[in-house]
Every structure is written in C-alpha cells, then in structure tokens.
Amino acid sequence: MEAIRVVVTGRVQGVSYRAYCQDAGRRMGLTGWVRNRRDGSVEAFAQGERAALDAFTGWCHQGSPSADVTGVTVERVPPDPAVVGFSVRSTA
C-alpha cells in the first residue's frame, strides 16, 4: 500500500469538489479523506494501490464538473492504517 497527499488549487471550493472527490476515491478502492483549506485550496489524503493512486491524481486535475483546477501538487507520504473509508473532513 502507498499513500499520497494532494493539494488542489483553483476554483475548487463551493463547486462540490469534495463530494466528487470522495466518490472518486471510493470508486477507485482507495481509503482517505478530503477537506477544504482556509486558503481556498482543497487537500486530500489517499492510500491504496499505485495504479489507483495514479488514477486518483488524474481525476484531481479535472475535479468536479464546475471546478476550475489550476494546480495540483502530489506528495508521497506514509500510509495511515487508522484511516478507513473515504471521508469528507471539516476545513483545516
């Protein structure tokens, strides 16, 4: 199992990005979470198989139908066995 932390910038708040992200993560068989950040970006943590993480990263570049993604940064991080499911968290 591998894990990533993703920060997405652009018009990604107020456009259902988190709900769509949660759905994408679940469909791809990942566990993790997604949350808004105070600076207007969205942050996600996802873990699972590398191919699924690559697909998730690709999805993050598109986002929800109303999103306008201008940047995506991806950082490899240690997996967290305590994370189950894929949840929407409150703002960081």
Catalytically annotated residues: 18, 36
Q: How many CB atoms lie within 10 A of CB 39?
A: 10
Q: Which residues contact 54 (CB under 8 A, 6 or more apart)?
A: none
DSSP summary character for residue 37: -
Q: What are the DSSP calls for 19-39, one per residue?
A: HHHHHHHHHTT-EEEEEE-TT
Q: What are phi and psi of 51, to 5 degrees?
A: -60, -40
